[in-house]
C-alpha cells in the first residue's frame, strides 16, 4: 500500500505488527518495526510519543496530561520521559521551525 505521508495520522505497533492510521479512516497493517518506520519517516515531522506510537505532528489537535488528541479523535499516550521533547517538537512544528 502507498499512503501519502500527509495522510498518516499515526503508526501503532503491537507485537511486531504495524497499523498505519490514516485521515480517510483506513488502517493499513504490515509486519515491520516501529524503529524501521521511524527511520523511513525521519525528517517528515513524526515523533515517537512512546513505545507504541509514532505520531504525525501535523495531526496533533491538542495535548492534555499524558495524552495527545489526534485529528481523527483518537487519544494517544505520551510517555512521561518523552513528554518534554514531544512538546518541544510540537512547538517547533507549530512555529514552522525544524
Domain ranges, residue 27: 5-94
Q: What is the CATH classification number for the domain harbouring 81?
A: 2.40.50.1020
Task: Dump pLDDT digits (tens) for 44-90.
Answer: 999 999 999 999 999 999 999 999 999 999 999 999 999 999 999 99
Cell of 23: 485521515
Cell of 1: 500500500
Torsion of CA 61, 62, 67, 71, to 10 degrees: -10
Cell of 65: 496530561
The strand ranges marked E within 1-98 are: 8-14, 17-22, 27-31, 46-48, 53-56, 60-64, 67-70, 75-77
The total of structural domains in the chain comes to: 1
Mean pLDDT of 19-25: 94
Whether this model's pTM surpasses 0.85: yes
Residue 1's pLDDT is what? 66
38/72 Cα distance (integer angstroms): 21
Q: Are 18 and 12 in contact (CB under 8 A)?
A: yes
Amino acid at each position: 500500500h502507498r499512503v501519502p505521508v500527509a495522510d498518516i495520522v499515526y503508526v501503532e505497533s503491537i507485537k511486531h505488527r504495524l497499523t498505519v492510521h490514516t485521515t480517510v479512516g483506513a488502517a493499513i497493517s504490515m509486519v515491520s518495526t516501529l524503529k524501521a518506520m521511524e527511520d523511513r519517516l525521519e525528517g517528515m515531522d513524526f515523533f515517537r510519543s512512546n513505545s507504541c506510537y509514532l505520531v504525525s505532528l501535523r495531526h496533533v489537535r491538542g495535548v492534555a496530561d499524558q495524552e495527545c488528541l489526534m485529528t481523527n479523535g483518537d487519544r494517544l499516550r505520551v510517555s512521561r520521559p518523552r513528554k518534554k521533547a514531544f512538546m518541544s517538537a510540537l512547538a517547533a512544528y507549530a512555529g514552522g521551525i525544524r
